[in-house]
Amino acid sequence: MSTNKPRIVVLGAGYAGMMTTKQLTKKLSPEEAEIVLVNKHNYHYQTTWLHEVAAGTINTNQARVMISDVINPNRVRLVYDSVVKVNKDNQKVVLENGDLDYDYLVIALGFETNTFGIKGMKENAFFIQDVDSSRQIYEHIEYQFAKYNNEENPKEESLAILVGGGGFTGIEFVGELAEQVPKLCRKYDIDPNIPRIINVEAAPSIMPGFDEELVAYAKKSLEERGVEFREGAKIAECKEDAFVVNEGEQIKAGTIVWTGGVTGNSILSKSGFELTKGKVTVEDTLLAPSEDNIFILGDCAWVMNKEEDRPYPPTAQSAIQHAGTCSTNIKALLHNEPLESFIFDNKGTVASLGKSDAMGTVFDDKKLYGKTASSMKKVIDNRWLFLLGGPKLTLKKGKFRPF
Amino acid sequence: MSTNKPRIVVLGAGYAGMMTTKQLTKKLSPEEAEIVLVNKHNYHYQTTWLHEVAAGTINTNQARVMISDVINPNRVRLVYDSVVKVNKDNQKVVLENGDLDYDYLVIALGFETNTFGIKGMKENAFFIQDVDSSRQIYEHIEYQFAKYNNEENPKEESLAILVGGGGFTGIEFVGELAEQVPKLCRKYDIDPNIPRIINVEAAPSIMPGFDEELVAYAKKSLEERGVEFREGAKIAECKEDAFVVNEGEQIKAGTIVWTGGVTGNSILSKSGFELTKGKVTVEDTLLAPSEDNIFILGDCAWVMNKEEDRPYPPTAQSAIQHAGTCSTNIKALLHNEPLESFIFDNKGTVASLGKSDAMGTVFDDKKLYGKTASSMKKVIDNRWLFLLGGPKLTLKKGKFRPF
């Protein structure tokens, strides 16, 4: 059924895209606009849970939701296809299997891993990028363990796991690994003293920019569970089985994962947007600069914090809040009303350090540690499920691990 | 505590070795003899369940039992070490970490895979040999699936599984694979039409020697579930990613498993026993020829069926029955009584064809098919657990899958 209603096309079913779509269905009547959601897969996944998939703590299906389970396909047209580029000139999205006209466009295509040109990193390291890449990491690690006792001369380093990058994802990932590696040792009859978990960070300390006291807590907690840290270690090259750091020292491992950097989706540059460090610096309204019908959200956007003259950190929390401003502003455009500006409401940040430990800040920089923080982290994780699919989805996919 | 009691040393904690040890503890008083059980691992595993571990149908721990959970370590000295060879001249077993004197010796060291010198088979194929090798097979298969969607140009053949040998193990294994592969497709978002399961048998038909009607049933059942058979296909070479069959045809696959042949443990030849096709043809008493204190059981032995002038088939059922004769004869030797001869009590043979299908013969060659046979197969599987560890072990590790 073709219509003359304006068509809103949302690209990407991540936090920002899903929430924008959901809010548009609430803020607009079916007569006001046609809504189309385009996504590569027929599922949404929790990007902030991917490190748990990569460590084997949770299975893929806990970290994803079928889009049609939370978005009514009778209200929103769901298109499962890959975006090739956006043609701003004629208001078309080029998909792998066809074109799609838009009146209003929301680009929420998420991040791509950035290796900063480190030699061999793209070829030899795994990335915690999406569902497919993350679950391959866990299977790769498990295979190293499954293989070990069958080797005539097993190499201990094959059971070492190297994690490049001591930021949020890298630290949360080694926290999960510290839980999973002892289980793999028991499962495959391997001496628990053989495997190693090594986090390599170029900056003088892991989690650069984070509160020092919290970082010290995280480091101590993880070291007590066997994680090794190499801070101030600049990776010169990633070989098939090693990082080369500093003055040529090699750190060997059977599994190498790079978590050290992200950038905006490469569709942005293919579509002719002006980029700053791989992302588009958007207006306060979240409109792309000099565009009146293209919004850019989530990890594709830099949204400036004018008070501090730097962008807000690109988190799931931000992405979800972008959706509120974006959907409100699309409604305003349809009604010829003034647009609102994005205001970030910082609810805090908590980093998980494994099953029952975490650290972070909530409400006006109150510091949290240990089980309290871990409990808060699960509340945060479950909150998105609640926003997305209400109590039913929260019960089905939520985190209620006892500790 | 050293003793002057005669020492019985049992080598190998497979079906024959475990049952001999258990029966010796019942037939002999602690004062009559010291019993020592030597095994490489601290666990016994169900060799006839390994194809299920290799297909990922059951986990390792269902297929194994801690030896000390079913053999009282206060009654039997448990030595976890690898046998290097037997010195018959001075009645010593050479272990990797020391020597062990014996007065009576039971060699029950099981089989080794026989590749019949097929070029590349040892290097490139996996074997369903023991716990370690079997679980690596499943992890290897799962890794092919986990990797597939991350490849830029995925090769469909990487999801093909080649099974060399259409005997009992090969057929039971493809039966399990036919159950597991669709699950892996769902788990990793892969089109179920892509993977292949291919069984290659050199003889004109799979399961040579087995009842033709039953073989036809098995073939039809497995083909209906997607298994491909290549009968009369002689494997000339096993490459890294293919079998070369007949006149140079290559069948490609990402996983290659060889189930086509077994032979007795190589300790036999290292210890100077005379071998027929890799095994020792034992006396009716199960004593090794011209030995009066060395018994050879299970897959290391050929036990002749005099009526048919050929050896009994080397099965778990036989191995368990060997233990009865052997333990009785050791007691007879201690008491200077005459030895008894082994008589095989054929309870039938059932081959599993997956979760809810099977075929075989029971009681005087009555043929069984389908769910009845599958049910009978589980009864057979659970029977060993009952013999080994009574109702408690049967409940803990038994097979009670509904169908």
Residue B64's closest chain A neighbor by CA?
A187
pLDDT digits (tens, 9 = 90+) for A8-66: 999 999 999 999 999 999 999 999 999 999 999 999 999 999 999 999 999 999 999 99
Of the pLDDT bands very low, low, confident and very high (cuts 50, 70, 90), residue A403 is: very low
Asked if domains B7-40+81-113+263-345 and B116-260+347-403 share a fold, the reply is yes
- pLDDT averaged over every residue in chain B: 94
Q: A138: which chain B residues are within 8 Å (Cβ-Cβ)?
A: 146
Task: Give the CB-side neighbour count of residue A170, counting CA atoms within 13 A.
Answer: 31
Percent of chain A past pLDDT 70, that is, above it, reads 98
Per-residue pLDDT, averaged over B163-178, amounts to 96
Domain B116-260+347-403 sits in CATH at 3.50.50.100
> Residue A2: pLDDT above 70?
no
| Residue of B42, B45, B149, B159 to mutate, interface with A, max A Cβ within 10 Å | B149
Nearest to A150 among B132, B142, B143 (CB): B132
Positions of B marked active-site: 172
> pLDDT value at position B3?
58
This model of the complex carries an ipTM of 0.87
What's the rounded mean pLDDT across residues B343-366?
A: 87
Beta-carbon separation of A139 and B143 below 8 A: yes
Over the stretch A344-354, which tens digit does the pLDDT of each residue have? 998 888 999 98
Dihedral sign, CA of A373, A374, A379, A383? positive
Distance from CA of A335 to the nearest CA of B (A): 42
Residue B6 has pLDDT above 70, yes or no: yes
User: For residue A395, how many other CB atoms are within 10 A of its CB?
Assistant: 13
- Map chain B to HEC letters: CCCCCCEEEEECCCHHHHHHHHHHHHHCCCCCCEEEEEECCCEEECHHHHHHHHHCCCCHHHCEEEHHHHCCCCCEEEEECCEEEEECCCCEEEECCEEEECCEEEECCCEEECCCCCECHHHHCEECCCHHHHHHHHHHHHHHHHHHCCCCCCCHHHHEEEEECCCHHHHHHHHHHHHHHHHHHHHCCCCCCCCEEEEEECCCCCCCCCCHHHHHHHHHHHHHCCEEEEECCCEEEEECCEEEECCCEEEECCEEEECCCEEECCHHHHCCCCCECCEEECCCCCECCCCCCEEECHHHEECEECCCCEECCCCHHHHHHHHHHHHHHHHHHHCCCCCCCCCCCCCEEEEECCCCCEEEEECCCEEEEHHHHHHHHHHHHHHHHHHHHHHHHHHHHCCCCCC
A335-378 per-position pLDDT tens digit? 999 999 999 998 888 999 988 899 998 877 789 989 888 888 88
Find the CB nearest A146 among B41, B135, B150.
B135
Question: Is a pLDDT exceeding 60 seen at residue A1?
Answer: no
d(CA B228, CA A392): 43
pLDDT in tens, B125-170: 999 999 999 999 999 999 999 999 999 999 999 999 999 999 999 9
Q: Which of A316-330, B273-287, B303-317, B323-337 has the lowest average pLDDT? A: B303-317
Asked if the Cβ–Cβ distance from A135 to B146 is below 8 Å, we say yes
CB contact under 8 A, B136 and A142: no
pLDDT at B179 exceeding the cut of 60 = yes
Is a pLDDT exceeding 70 seen at residue B70?
A: yes
Comparing CA positions, the residue from A136, A111, A123, A158 lying closest to residue A55 is A136
CB-based contact A150 B143, cutoff 8 Å: no
Chain B residues touching residue A149 (CB < 8 angstroms)? 132
Domain A7-40+81-113+263-345 sits in CATH at 3.50.50.100
Q: What is the pLDDT of residues A180-200, one digit of tens each?
A: 999 999 999 999 999 999 999
CA distance B216 to B205: 9
Summarize the confidence of residues B226-238 as an average pLDDT: 97
pLDDT value at position B380?
A: 86
pLDDT tens for A232-256 read 999 999 999 999 998 899 999 999 9
Render pLDDT for B84-98 as a digit per residue (tens, 0 to 9): 999 999 999 999 999
Model confidence at B365, pLDDT cuts 50, 70, 90, reads confident
pLDDT band at A103; cut points 50, 70, 90: very high
Which pLDDT value is given to residue A401?
A: 60
Q: Tens of pLDDT along B15-43?
A: 999 999 999 999 999 999 999 999 999 99
Determine, for residues B147 and A133 on separate chains, whether the beta-carbon distance falls below 8 Å: no
Mean pLDDT value across residues B340-361: 90
| Across A258-281, average pLDDT | 96
Which of A43, A61, A132 to mutate against chain B (most B CBs within 10 Å)?
A132
Provide the mean pLDDT of chain A. Answer: 94
Q: How far is A309 from chain B (nearest CA, A)?
A: 39
Q: What is the mean pLDDT of residues B38-62?
A: 95
Quote the minimal CA–CA distance from B237 to chain A in Å.
Answer: 23
**Residue ranges of the domains in chain A?**
7-40+81-113+263-345, 115-260+347-403
Where do runs of H (alpha helix) occur along A119-260? 121-124, 131-148, 168-187, 212-224
CATH number of the A115-260+347-403 domain: 3.50.50.100
